[in-house]
Amino acid sequence: MKASTFRALQVKSRLDTSNPTPLYKQLRSLIRQAIETGAFKVEDALPSERDIAAELEVSRVTVRKAVQDLVKDGLLVQKHGAGTFVAARLEQPLSKLTSFTEDISARGMQSSVIWIERTIGLATPEEAMALNLSPGAGVSRLHRIRCADNKALAIEQASIPQIFLPDPLAVEDSLYRILDKTGLRPQRALQRLRAELMQPEHSELLGMPPGGAALYIERRSFLPDMRPIEFTRSHYRGDSYDFIAELHLDNQKRND
């Protein structure tokens, strides 16, 4: 990307010195908009700080502060010696029942796990309800940070009936790999998504500023005989992950 891209987007004329909002914040939101609307493409290199400052007739400090904030928010990445780039977003089709490990490796990236907890406990009322267990039944709990190429993307808390996963320590990286091995791979899942603000304890674990956008996802998955096998609650960084749903016109309408 050249500094002239900023001209094409009329960034300079949209910066308003009479506005009480500091210039770096105005510039930050204009760059954010350009990324979110696709005007700045994923993995595009940003022009140098000096070129942007010259093009927009603002100080280099203004450009630096705007860029640094967007790096902190995960929209831009700085590669040592190479410059600043628009960060890649990961896309997951909502209709495929895949695992995190599979999703990430399908994109040519390396997935990894930072374990917070792997324990056995008695089902809470919420877990018992979600997993169709009697109160007090045993559950294996996996609490972990999920990373792609060492960048923390989500915090995940999975509960699996203990009868299906007697030893949570058996899961070294992929839960679905272990379930596959024991013939217990889920076949169907229900997912509920909602937007949330990143909670302070999560933002710290994901290395992003508190109060940023996050996506909460709950997955309940089932074995072919409909017994629930998994109840997982995930908090994804809102700035790095897109969930894509493919929609079809229903047959009734198609025949109208």
Choose the binding region for ligand 16G from 29-37, 58-66, 168-176, 200-208 (rule: CB under 6 A).
168-176
Strands 228-237 and 213-222: antiparallel
Q: Given the complex with ligand 16G, which of 61 and 106 has the nearer CB atom?
A: 106
Query: What is the C-alpha separation between 30 and 24, in angstroms, rounded?
Result: 10
Q: How far is CA 26 from the centre of its chain?
A: 26
Q: Given the complex with ligand 16G, which of 26 and 101 has the nearer CB atom?
A: 101
User: What is the largest distance, in Å, between two alpha-carbon atoms of the chain?
Assistant: 67
Minimum gap (Å) between residue 28 Cβ and ligand 16G: 29
Query: What is the C-alpha separation between 69 and 64, in angstroms, rounded?
Result: 9
Strands 241-244 and 188-197: unpaired
Nearest 10 degrees: Cα torsion 31, 36, 38, 44: 50
Q: Given the complex with ligand 16G, which of 203 and 234 has the nearer CB atom?
A: 234
Minimum gap (Å) between residue 158 Cβ and ligand 16G: 5
Minimum gap (Å) between residue 205 Cβ and ligand 16G: 16
User: Does 175 interact with ligand 16G (rule: CB under 6 A)?
Assistant: yes
User: Does 176 interact with ligand 16G (rule: CB under 6 A)?
Assistant: yes
Choose the binding region for ligand 16G from 47-55, 72-80, 126-134, 175-183 (rule: CB under 6 A).
175-183
The vertex-84 CA angle with 83 and 85, nearest 5°, equals 120
Identify residues 129-158 at the interface with ligand 16G (CB under 6 A).
156, 158
Residues binding ligand 16G (CB under 6 A): 99-101, 156, 158, 174-177, 217, 219, 230, 232, 234
